[in-house]
Structure 1
């Protein structure tokens, strides 16, 4: 058994697995929160918000139907929990068009990325396009990974600044 201690907390790696490259230590962890299961007899009374958590944050309708099926009596008023509010949060849509146009070259760059059906001879799978809002000039970049777009944009901007284009 291996142990790891930091300040007053000790973790005991009580499961050791042999792998092709050595050993893997694991911990059998039991959550302190309620275990997702309920064992209620017919006619039992249960708080609706507690049942909401036990049933995996089910909707109020699902909770009421489940309680009705098992003949459980619900008490309390259903309130949306923080976990459900966060899960249902939605970012505001980003506008696809604008009514304003930049008057300064390089002030506003618009870009998009797309995949291509086959890799290029250089091994690139993605195609990026950059458009300057003021001048309508277009630059394209080929990318091996989508995540390469950021560094390619920085390189493009530095190059254009160095050439005195902006």
Structure 2
């Protein structure tokens, strides 16, 4: 294992019992990948990329982990599979999506993993929950904080915090 880093993940679901799927994903990630040190509220967001589908619930997590990024990705994908995720079409509906947005300050460009997430600065649905728990965190490529990325985000789609 490597030294512990804070990875920022985004959970999303737009099929089934969305809140329960996110809760189960949080439990599984905490049990297998590390300690969740912060979790945003749940946000309902319009579908991005293909807007003709149900709205998503999204949540950002700060996960303290000693796993290398590729192993963390494998656990994220396994968590998606346990939730019944099927990859039928790009940006299609899904029971669960777990994306690695940031992994410490690392820049990773591997065939199966690009960190920071390559479209993070363009996606309000990711930036709003991420800013809640890590607004001061710097994007290691762009050199801007998450709060600054959100302020400059071109995505017009609505993101609504759920009051629970």
Determine which structure has greater relative contact order: mean sequence separation of CA pairs < 8 Å that are 6+ residues apart, divided by chain length: 2
TM-score by length of 2: 0.22
Question: When you count helix as a share of all residues, which structure comes out higher?
Answer: 2
Per the normalisation by structure 1, the TM-score is: 0.22
